[in-house]
Amino acid sequence: MATTIPLKQWIQGALECSQPDDDDDDDNNNNISTVALSPAYLTNALRIALALTQQISDVEESSTSQSSCCDDVVTCLPPPFPVACIDWADCITVRCCCSSSKEPNDEKHFGHDESLTNAPTTSSSPRNSPSSLLASSLQSDRWDDDALDELLGNIAREIEGETVPLPENTATVTTMDAPPLPRRGINGGYFLHVENARLFYIPSEDSHPVDSSPSLSSSSEKLQRIYSLGLVFYELFSGGDLPPLDLLVVSSRNGEDLAILSLGRAVEGEGKEEERSSVRPLDHFASMLNMSDDTHANMEPYDSQHVYNTSYRSKKRQSFSSRSRQTTGVVSSRSSLDSLCMKGVPIRLCDLICNMIDCINGGLMGNESYSKMVDVTYDLQLMLDKPFVYLHDLDVDRLSLHGLELDDTLFERNNEFECLQCAYRRSLSGSPELGIITGVSGTGKSTMAHQLGHFITSSGGVFLSGKFDQMMRRVQPLSAVASAFDNYCDVLTREEETERAMLVASQLRTALGSDLYYLIQVIPNLSQIIRTSAIDIPPNQDDCVDAQQRLQYLFCQFVEVISSCSSGPIALFMDDVQWADSASISVIGHILKTSRYRQDGNRVFFLATCRDDEMESDHSFWKMVESVGTFGFNTSVVKLECMDQDTVTRVISNLLHLSPRLVRSLSDIVYHKTKGNPLFVSKLLLSLNREGLLNISLVRHRWEWDVEKIQSRKLPDDVAMFFVRSINTLPVDVKISLSALSCLGASAECEVIYAIETNLNLNLIEPLNVAVAEGLLNKVDGRYCFCHDRVHEATYGIIEEQDRCLHHMNYGLSLIDVFFTTDNASLLLTAATQINLAGPSAVQDAEKYHQIANYNLMAGKKAMEMSDFSSAFSFFDHGMTFLRKKRWQDHYDLSLELFNLAAKCALTIKDLTSLTVICDEVLINARNSDDTLNVSFILMSALTHSMVSESVEFGFHVLSNELGVDIHSSTSREDTLNLITQTQSTLNGFTEETLLSYQVLTNYNMVMALKFLAKLESSIQQVNPALVPFVTIKIVELTIEHGVSPMSAIGFAYFGGMIAELGDLRGGYRYTKLAKALLHKHPSNEIAGEVILKSTEILSFIEPLQTTNDHRLQGQVAAMAAGDVHWACMNKLLFTCTLLWSGENLSEVKEAFIKAGHFSEEHSHQISFYYLKIFDRTISRLVDGEDLTMSDDQLTRHAIETKNPYQLVIVYFHNLFHSLVFNNYEEMKLSAENFLKFTTPSWNLLSGHSVHTLIGGLASFRIYRETNDLMWAQRGNQFKERMKTWNDQGSLWNFENKSFLLDAEYSYSNGDLELARVAYEKAISSARRHKFIHEEAIAYELAANFYLNTGNKSIALKYFTDAHGKYFEWGAFAKVKALYAYIQETFRCDSPSAVPTL
């Protein structure tokens, strides 16, 4: 239910309801001020005020647009003054809701219901007075000049407090009766549930008629309405007090000075209701004022019918006006509204009422008074929507002390911010997401990113942030990424995070073991979580294939651990990626790709900011974004532009807590100066505040500014020049300190600043604190940081070029001195960086060149320990530069070490151009061949990635010419077998214990020879497989002759594979076990992945196949820990292949292949990627019956293009497997021919050979039965005998069922049906017992075909049905459908009872 009551009674009722229940009635009057300020009363009063201004605005707009409904609406408004003596407060009704919800049948529009239209039109007590008579006189022409002069005299006496007799026949004032006021607590709460309010006027019958169609668009009448409503607002927000009489004014129209008529103050106090009633018409007098043309240029002249006759000028009136001017002068209503402020009404609201009342004085009151009702509406809406900004009083004491305070405003970027929030929320639901904020400098990108960070952390997420530094990106490229994780570790060390820190430490130890050492070098704060004493330092820190890949792997593992230990998702934010180095981008890309397929579904949300106008389209960051897009990542790009003029106005309005119309004069200047750049806007406002041009007024309790002085202030049009100017105004010592800090980068640790200050006897810390107070710097967590990149750039740009070099050199040398006394590695890196920024030209003492080169050598080695090979290469490169031209003659050893280490770093970061130049210089300037071996090995390793043939050729050249190691080159199989036999005979004289305790190889040349041979092992298989045994045997021979090295394990692993391939499975297994034992005794991460893979290949013939995948995973982890991507991907490949041939459910196998494919793609490993494509194609055909991957032609063409014959063999084998399973004889025969044609004898036994032998044998026997070609029978028999050998020497679990099945096919092909029947049964039983469900299905189907072809259809149907069920259980649904159709057709039955329903 809703009810409508007059405004005055609403005020009384709302005050009554707002008082505490235990207040006595006697205290009501004393508490009215407090109650009127209660939040409930104030909020509802604002709703009433807003509704009234909206109504009048709508009416005026309708009048302007000549709306058809205008006439109906106009009659709802009382006439503006001086048309009639109407008290607007009596014409206002308030609609309140009696309950929390509206009645469903209450559909009446407020202001048009019957309670209003049927209301009485006159009051029972018409409250007439001289002033009210004046009101009525202005509506008629009954009064002549004398009568009017007498009336004015009576008004003057009324002001003096005299009793004035009232004439008869005076007009009555229109009011409305209202329902009785309910008591508080008895259905009275609806007073504080205001829905709406309306002005509604019905003229009295005996009142003078009013023009029914006033000019609503008249400027003067609009101002009169604002003024009259302002008086109503005074009464509304004061809690029912009448406006002071000195707010009621009369203006002359004679072109002379404006006269303000002071009518005194209303009578106040208890027991004076009668006096109040007699004074009340003075309130109506406010509705009768008119204005001169001089007052407001835009006012239209009043209609002569409504205008006070200004030609009448009696002496009495002149003296009255003169007295008024002497008493009051031309003043605003502000001083008259002090009573509102004293009641505690918010100052902003008092100002609003003041500006409404002042509008009657037009331009004389300045530009703050209102000219349009719509502006009042807008300001009231702001007070309701944002009371803490636009309604509540400012803390002027704090603001006068601290000045203007800028928060992390988003500059009205709510839509852009919501876009990023949505992207983050999608990441929570499993969608991989990237968020990128772009824009020119100063548009608020970082601010928005950190606002999103607050949102993420408040919702339980983890927000890691780092910032790229333009100056440091070449010398410390990984510092931004490392700092993000370092800060996270620092957070974990806090007391409230102790439990999580312990969990992270435990899981990191389990996942990374001793490799944690390398991670701690990059993330120092990690040592606070994990005690370094509990970590085994790797004995050989250079034992790594690719340290960059290793570091990426370690970062990915770290992210996975902290993600699993966190209740919320991980968000990684990188600021200013336009300055990101390729190494950091690569790490970020790997983290994202790895997180894409986490089993727990947790994702890493990545957020970045960049100045896209400073980035080329081929920037490494955009390439990374494109790359992760292929992994399913969605990218949300938010473009931040500079603000338009209206936005600048709203931002300043919000900042200064003033209405937009009031700050327009300031915002126009600010926009003109800044072009809307948010950074420029904020810094300019702070500057104006500091210079006293924008101040807090203690009198008005609001911000004020001097427009003329601000306009006259010359400001640069560029934000960079603005900062330059601001810095130049600072004291000299502050500028010097800022310059020193800028040379160190965008930020620097206080420890570094203090070291420079102490060593160079400079005063830096105190001036930097001054800069912090000035807002140019931030001091966070022991670091001084420039508040923005533009400030850093401007500060650094002020320094002259020649002075920069001297500063960098002095700072670097001073930090070096501190390093030698503290052994702080970070100081060493910072010092070397500063020296390198200075360059050789800044060296003033020739003796310093050699020292600085040594400093760079030390810094480079430290960077290598941190796995930061990009930084290390930069240090080594600078070290070579400082040695000048005669470095090889004057500093040979130092030069050789710098070049060797630089070559290794160049290989790691894949800078092959620099690597070639470095190697060539070493090869030219080395004094002996031994000094060339290291760079030769690095060059050979580099060639392995792109030019394998050249790599093999170069390796043989170095072995023969530089190391004196000759390798047999005979390709005769007989010679090879003889050599293998001799080597095996030699090894038989050694026990495993003897070899494990054998002497360690110390000869440098032989150590390098074994490294070259080990590198050749994998390369030569692709180029000339026939030479593999000779390389392998040479490793074994050198080990026996000179001693054991870590590379010896490679030789024994490959030798074991050769022995097993030649038929001695157990003998081969012995050597692979020895290889793993040697690896354990002489650890080498560099070869661990390869040794484990080769050993597991033989292990899969000895132990149950399903158990070998643990070793595959171990090999993958070991390879990744060494950055060995090739063997990590190969271990991953064989892991998935083992799942398939073990008979695991195909849906799980398919998922594993997808993940493996992404792993290979992530690391750009083409070999394993294309093998996986072949397998994925087979699985798709089994499950879906469709080939959704590469076609045969594509796979075959790729194998030919890459010169990889083994890949071609795999393509034909999978075609053979598919055709055999789907019983496609013609395709099977063609595939078998190609498979056997391209299969060449191998010198190493591989796990895949077992399934090749099984499928090859089954296909051969089937083709023989179809063609009677004895060649196929012989091939089948060879496959059968090989399987029997493995079954006899190896694992019965793996080979028994396969051997029985080949025996069955052999017997069936030879016509021995009984032996065939028994063998089929044994094969089925063995496959079931050893859990090879796919081979059980194949055995059932082959047995069914056997029974069908031998005339036993009933058994055949049963076996076909059993095969159907096993294929279904395996997940080969395409085969299930095909077999079901075959059964239907062959046995003429609609639905075999035992066949599962599809």
The pLDDT value recorded for residue 917 is 92
User: Cα–Cα distances in Å, from 764 out to 723, 735, 759, 841, 1253?
Assistant: 20, 10, 12, 26, 78
Average pLDDT over residues 569-583: 88
Using the predicted structure, report yes or no on whether residue 1175 has a pLDDT greater than 80.
yes
Q: Please, which pLDDT band fits residue 221 given cuts at 50, 70 and 90?
A: confident
- Is the distance from CB of 1001 to CB of 1044 less than 8 angstroms? yes
**Which pair of structure tokens corresponds to residue 336?**
């008259």
Q: Say yes or no to pLDDT of 496 above 70.
A: no
- How confident is the model at residue 340, as a pLDDT? 81
Q: Residue 706 is encoded by which pair of tokens?
A: 């001097």
Neighbours of 881 (CB within 10 A): 17
What band does 135 get if pLDDT is binned at 50, 70 and 90?
very low
Rounded-to-integer distance, Cα 416 and Cα 478, Å: 30
What pLDDT is stored for residue 698 in this prediction?
Answer: 86
Higher pLDDT, residue 173 or 624: 624
Q: Give me the half-sphere count of Cα atoms (radius 13 Å) on the Cβ side of residue 1241.
A: 13
Higher pLDDT, 1246 or 723: 1246
Closest CA to 1305 of 1291, 1322, 1288: 1322
Q: Which two tokens stand for residue 1375?
A: 């085969």
Question: Tokens in use for 422?
Answer: 């949505």
Sheet holding 747-749, edge to edge: 747-749, 783-786, 777-780
Q: Do residues 912 and 879 touch, judged by C-beta distance below 8 A?
A: no
Residue 958: the pLDDT is 93
- Angle 912-925/892-908 helices, nearest 10 degrees? 150
| Confidence tier at 475 by pLDDT (50, 70, 90) | low
CA distance linking residue 1008 with residue 936, whole number of Å:
10
- At residue 510, φ and ψ (nearest 5 deg) are -65, -40
For the cut 60, the answer to whether the pLDDT of residue 213 exceeds it is: no
| Cα distance between residue 728 and residue 246, in whole Å | 54
Q: What is the mean pLDDT of the chain?
A: 79
Q: How confident is the model at residue 495 (pLDDT cuts 50, 70, 90)?
A: low
Q: For position 141, what pLDDT does the model report? A: 40
What is the per-residue pLDDT for 52? 93
Statement: residue 1381 has pLDDT above 80: yes
What does the pLDDT look like over 323-355, one tens digit per residue?
333 333 444 566 667 778 888 889 889 989 988
- Report d(CA 862, CA 856) in Å as an integer: 10
Q: What is the mean pLDDT of residues 209-219?
A: 53
Q: How far is it, in rounded angstroms, from Cα 1140 to Cα 684?
A: 68
Q: Which residue has the higher pLDDT, 311 or 1089?
A: 1089
pLDDT value, residue 335: 66
pLDDT at 1346: 95
- Tell me, what's the pLDDT at 985? 92
- Strand-pair partners of 779: 784
Instruction: State the Cα–Cα distance between residues 1021 and 727, nearest whole angstrom.
Output: 66
Q: What is the DSSP letter of 100?
A: S
| CA atoms within a 13 Å half-sphere pointing along the CA-CB vector of 326 | 6
Tell whether the model's pLDDT for residue 1130 goes beyond 70: yes
- pLDDT band at residue 1352 under the 50/70/90 scheme: very high
User: Which of 173-182, 302-311, 983-992 shows the lowest per-residue confidence on average (mean pLDDT)?
Assistant: 302-311
Contacts of 200 (CB under 8 A, 6+ apart): 76, 91, 92, 93, 111, 116
Q: Is 317:152 a contact under the CB 8 Å cutoff?
A: yes
Per DSSP, the residues of 985-1022 read HHHTTS-HHHHHTPPBP--HHHHHHHHHHHHHHHHHHH
Question: What is the per-residue pLDDT across 285-316, written as a single tens digit (0 to 9) for each?
Answer: 333 333 333 333 333 333 333 333 333 333 33
Phi-psi region at 745: left, alpha or beta (left = phi > 0; alpha = psi -120 to 50): left
Report the C-alpha gap between 855 and 849 in whole angstroms.
10
Q: What is the pTM of this model?
A: 0.69
pLDDT for 120 equals 34
In this prediction, residue 1304 carries a pLDDT of: 96
User: Average pLDDT in the 662-666 region?
Assistant: 91
Can you tell me the mean pLDDT for 1310-1339? 95
Residue 769 to residues 726, 733, 736, 774, 779, Cα–Cα distance (Å): 16, 11, 13, 9, 8
Model confidence band, residue 802 (pLDDT cutoffs 50, 70, 90): confident
Percent of the chain with pLDDT over 70: 78
Q: How many beta carbons lie within 10 A of that of residue 1038, not counting itself?
A: 22
Residue 143 has pLDDT above 90, yes or no: no
The predicted structure's pLDDT at residue 280: 38
Return the number of other C-beta atoms located less than 10 Å from residue 671's C-beta.
21
Of the listed ranges 657-661, 955-959, 1236-1240, the least confidently predicted one is 1236-1240
In one letter, which amino acid is 1319?
A
At 806-834, the pLDDT tens digits run: 999 999 999 888 888 887 788 888 899 89
Name the nearest CA neighbour of 1037 among 1093, 1084, 980, 992: 980
What is the mean predicted confidence (pLDDT) over 407-413? 68
Average pLDDT over residues 696-716: 84
Query: Residue 288: helix, strand or coil by DSSP?
Result: helix
Sequence letter at residue 418: E
Return the DSSP state at 161: T
Strands 604-610 and 702-705: unpaired
The tokens for 540 are 């050989």
What SS3 state is found at 778?
strand
Of 850-864, 1191-1205, 1251-1265, the range with the highest mean pLDDT is 1251-1265
Query: CA–CA separation, 28 vs 873, rounded Å?
Result: 84
What span, in angstroms and rounded, lies between the C-alpha atoms of 959 and 1011? Answer: 10
Q: What is the pLDDT of residues 4-62, one digit of tens each?
A: 889 988 988 888 887 765 545 555 555 555 556 688 888 999 999 999 999 998 888 87
Residue 193 has what DSSP assignment?
-
Q: Which residues contact 1110 (CB under 8 A, 6 or more apart)?
A: none
- Structure confidence at residue 915 (pLDDT): 92
Cα–Cα distance measured from residue 1274 to residue 1310, given in angstroms and rounded to the nearest whole number: 12
Cα 687 to the center of its chain, rounded Å: 33
Rounded to whole angstroms, the Cα distance separating 48 from 94 reads 7
DSSP letter (8 states) at residue 676: T
Distance CA 959, CA 952 (A): 11
Q: Which amino acid is at 830?
A: T
In whole angstroms, give the CA distance from residue 1153 to residue 1189: 12
In this predicted structure, what is the pLDDT of residue 152?
Answer: 47
Residue 81 has pLDDT above 80, yes or no: no
What's residue 1333's pLDDT? 96
How many CB atoms lie under 10 A from the CB of residue 350? 23
Query: Is residue 943 scored above 80 in pLDDT?
Result: yes
- DSSP, collapsed to helix, strand or coil, labels residue 257 as coil
pLDDT score, position 1025: 81
**Does residue 132 register a pLDDT over 50?**
no
Q: Name the one residue in this structure whose structure tokens are 């950055």.
A: 1123
Which stretch of DSSP H or E encloses residue 703? strand 702-705
d(CA 336, CA 348) in angstroms, rounded, equals 15
pLDDT at 13: 86
Residue type, 1190: M
- Cα separation of the two ends of the chain: 63
At 800 the pLDDT is 87
Q: Which span out of 191-205, 265-279, 355-369, 1264-1278 was modeled with the highest average pLDDT?
A: 1264-1278
Which residue type is seen at 615? Answer: M
Residue with tokens 């601290």: 402
For residue 1155, pLDDT beyond 50: yes
Please, which pLDDT band fits residue 543 given cuts at 50, 70 and 90? Answer: low
Q: Is 748 helix (H, G, I), strand (E, B) or coil?
A: strand
The phi and psi torsions of 573 (rounded to 5 degrees) equal: -115, 130
> With bands split at pLDDT 50, 70 and 90, how would you rate the model's confidence at 1014?
very high
Q: Which residue has the tokens 């290598």?
A: 864
The candidate with the shortest Cα–Cα distance to 235, out of 339, 334, 333, 335, is 339
Q: What's the confidence (pLDDT) of residue 830? A: 87
How far, rounded to the nearest angstrom, does the alpha carbon of residue 1125 sit from its chain's CA centroid? 29
Distance CA 302, CA 288 (A): 12
pLDDT tens profile 864-923: 887 788 888 999 999 999 987 788 988 999 999 999 999 998 988 888 889 999 999 999
Q: Which of 148, 108, 153, 145 is nearest to 2 (CA)?
A: 108
Given a cut of 80, is residue 320 above it in pLDDT?
Answer: no
**Whole-angstrom distance, CA of residue 1154 vs CA of residue 1162:** 12
The sign of the dihedral angle between the CA atoms of 235, 237, 241, 242 is: negative
How far is 1225 from 1231, CA to CA, in rounded Å?
10
Which pLDDT does position 368 carry in this prediction?
A: 83
Q: Which residue has the tokens 């207040």?
A: 23
Q: Counting every residue, how long is the chain?
A: 1398
In this prediction, residue 252 has a pLDDT band, given cuts at 50, 70 and 90, of very low
Question: Residue 174: pLDDT above 60?
Answer: no
Instruction: Tell me how many degrees the CA angle 684-687-690 measures, rounded to the nearest 5.
Output: 155
Residue 411 phi/psi, 5° resolution?
50, 45
- pLDDT the model gives residue 410: 58
Q: Lowest mean pLDDT: which of 411-420, 527-536, 1000-1009?
A: 527-536
